[in-house]
Structure 1
Amino acid sequence: MFHAPIDKTALCALIPHAGDMCLLDAVLAWDAASIRCRSTSHRAPDNPLRRADGTLGAAHLLEYAAQAAAIHGGLLAAADGAPPRRGYLVATRRLQLPATPLNSLPGALEIDAQRLFAGDGGWVYAFTVAHADTPLASGQFTIAHLAEDTAA
């Protein structure tokens, strides 16, 4: 069962990223196993990830996907009445990125993340990022929970 969309204010409250560093604009749909988000922040001239020359590299798509996973974790925790778990992105696998700078893409990005594994120590997600219904990036990543969050 998919839940209702969530706006930027509500989704930013679920992650520690503040201000412009909260890169996603909306949660379009989510359920216990996956989340779909949208973002247009790659076009913003004041995007905090832009290089000095104004470009936004494709490797930053991993940050977009990781934020989607963090929001997913926050939504699942809230649904269970628990506080969100903090964590760090510690590994990537099968990472495929485009050669095109993100700031040259005119439309919104759609970020899909699917949780493949969830345990006390962390999560594993697979993700895809698309632009205009064309896949741009994909891969898997592991998020490890901080030790104090797993202590009983």
Structure 2
Amino acid sequence: MLMSQSEIAARIPHQGSMCLLQEVRELDEQHIVCTTRTHLDAANPMRENGRMGAALGIEYAAQAMALHCALQQQQGERPRGGYLTSVRDVQLHAETLDASSEPLTVRAERIAASEQTAMYQFSLHAGESLLVQGRIAAMLDVAAPLQT
């Protein structure tokens, strides 16, 4: 494990039970691989009517992207906030994220980035099963640091 949930939460705006990622397993300048079991938690705030719909994988991917962007900043810089601007080519290969008791593996790979924007392709797996894949883009708030 390269990073724990508390270390992740220190670098992204998602706090408490909304910090969905629990571990960073792989990391380099182009990609990040995270794992989590939060999709199995009955108290997960994303759960609706007792289930975790597969489209919620987009939020897991967005958090992985936010973390990767934060980790690309200079050491000692405060993380910047941002907001999701587009979600494209999403393919849902399952109805729910919690149908399997396997941990989720969330992979996000940077396609393009500038000081103000980032675009990633992503995939979520439970074991060998592909659950969700697609692309996400975000606008980074270069004027204001993340409020902690």
Give the TM-score normalised by the residue count of structure 1: 0.89
Q: Distance in 1 between matches of 2:132 and 2:94?
A: 10
1:93 aligns with 2:88: yes
Q: Do the aligned partners of 2:30 and 2:109 also contact (CA within 8 Å) in 1?
A: yes
- Contact kept? 1:92, 1:139, Cα under 8 Å: yes
**Offset of residue 101 of structure 1:** 1.6
Deviation at 1:127, TM superposition (A): 0.5
Name the residue aligned to 2:132.
Answer: 137
Identity across matched positions, percent: 34
- Using the TM superposition, give the Cα deviation of residue 48 of structure 1 relative to its aligned residue in structure 2, in angstroms: 0.4
1:66 correspondence with 2:33: no
Contact 2:80/2:142 (8 A) holds in 1: no
* Residue 113 (structure 1) aligned with residue 108 (structure 2): yes
- After superposition, what is the alpha-carbon deviation per residue over 1:59-106, rounded to whole angstroms, capped at 9, x for unaligned? 100000010011111111144x43222111110111111342222221
CA distance in 1, matches of 2:24, 2:74: 15
Please tell me whether the aligned partners of residues 39 and 52 of structure 2 are also in contact (alpha carbons under 8 angstroms).
yes
In structure 2, the gaps of 5 or more residues are none
What per-residue deviation string (whole Å, max 9, x for no partner) do you get for residues 43-70 of structure 1? Answer: 000000011x211111100000010011
Q: Structure 1: which 5+ residue stretches go unaligned?
A: none
The residue type equivalent to 2:10 in the other structure is: A
TM-score (norm 2): 0.91
Task: Indicate the SS of the match to 1:15.
Answer: coil
TM-aligned CA deviation for residue 5 of structure 1: 1.0
1:78–1:84: 8 Å Cα contact kept in structure 2?
A: no
Structure 1 stretches of at least 4 aligned residues deviating more than 2 Å after TM superposition: 146-150
Counterparts of 1:117 and 1:148, CA distance in 2:
20
SS in 2 for 1:69: helix
Letter in 2 for 1:109: L
- Over aligned residue pairs, what C-alpha RMSD do you find? 1.6
Corresponding residue to 2:3 among 2, 6, 12: 6
More helix per residue: 1
